[in-house]
Amino acid sequence: MRRTILTLASLAALIAATFPAAQARAGNDRYCLQGRSWGYPGNCQFANYQQCQASASGTSAYCGINPRYAFSQSRDY
């Protein structure tokens, strides 16, 4: 019985690992909290500027667009 549970748990972990986490959070990293303590590009987990500003409020940090989006090339074929 324990072996079956362990096998099923291992199989579930393997399936979960095959799906990229980036797809689950698509669009949630457009803005980055930046500053001395965050480095560059910073904490890029914010979907909109207001969320980032709320986290930066009262600190010496600021918000900027994620360089991944700012410098990406559009593919207009």
**pLDDT attached to residue 23:** 45
Interval 5-47: pLDDT, tens: 666 566 566 555 555 544 444 578 899 999 988 888 899 999 9
pTM over 0.85: no
Residues 6+ apart with CB under 8 A from 62: 33, 34, 35, 56
Phi and psi at residue 20, to the nearest 5°: -65, 135
**pLDDT attached to residue 76:** 61
